Amino acid sequence: MKTHLSEEQISACIAGDRSREVESHLRDCPECAAQIASTQKSLLLFRDSGYQCAEYWQKQPQEPASRRPARWAAAGAALGVAITASVVLLRKPEPQAAPKEEVFLQIPYVVPPAPYERTTVVHMDVPVAALIAAGFRMDAAAANSVSADVMVGQDGRPLAVGFPPVVFQEVEQ
């Protein structure tokens, strides 16, 4: 044989299936003999490590049978707590009634702000006469001025007035 052994021939040789031709080649070719010896040594080390692992685990003390159900019960209880906690935490809160807020009313005959226009809210004392002139009917018991929030556009013109619920009665249109 002028060439080295193929992988199939080496596998068959390690498995114990050697022909006379392979035997004579192994006597004449130290490279193939060394490869077969190295592969057999690796396989033996692998087998021995499996035996050592099995022996190690056989020598370990076994848990008493009475502790196994206790661990399952503890694991089940932990799972139950986790599920309960996730249900409680992920539950959507029920909608609550919005707190009574002040009423913001647009001032009649004023062009509303453009969608891109900035507005600010300014807290001020507004004269009752100015509110009546703008079309609002005010309570007769009100003083000369009313504390209100006024929405002002970026050009400075008033757009809406926010009244506390006690002061405002209704709007005259």
Whether pTM exceeds 0.85:
no
Q: Is the pLDDT of residue 119 over 60?
A: yes
pLDDT value of residue 87: 77
- Asked whether the predicted pLDDT for residue 170 surpasses 50, the reply is no
In which band, very low, low, confident or very high, does the pLDDT at 107 lie, cut at 50, 70 and 90? Answer: confident
**Higher pLDDT residue, 115 or 103?**
115
Do the beta carbons of residue 125 and residue 167 sit within 8 Å?
A: no
How would residue 36 be classed by pLDDT, with cut points 50, 70 and 90? confident
What is residue 165's predicted lDDT score, i.e. its pLDDT? 62
d(CA 160, CA 108): 9
pLDDT digits (tens, 9 = 90+) for 61-82: 776 655 566 777 788 888 888 8
The mean per-residue pLDDT over the stretch 25-38 comes to 88
pLDDT category at 97 given cuts 50, 70, 90 is low
Query: Where do the domains of the chain lie?
Result: 7-59, 103-171
Predicted confidence at residue 147, as pLDDT, reads 81
Q: What is the pLDDT of residue 139?
A: 66
SS3 annotation, 42-83: HHHHHHHHHHHHHHHHHHCCCCCCCHHHHHHHHHHHHHHHHH
The residue among 114, 103, 127, 128 whose CA lies nearest residue 157 is: 114
d(CA 37, CA 9): 14
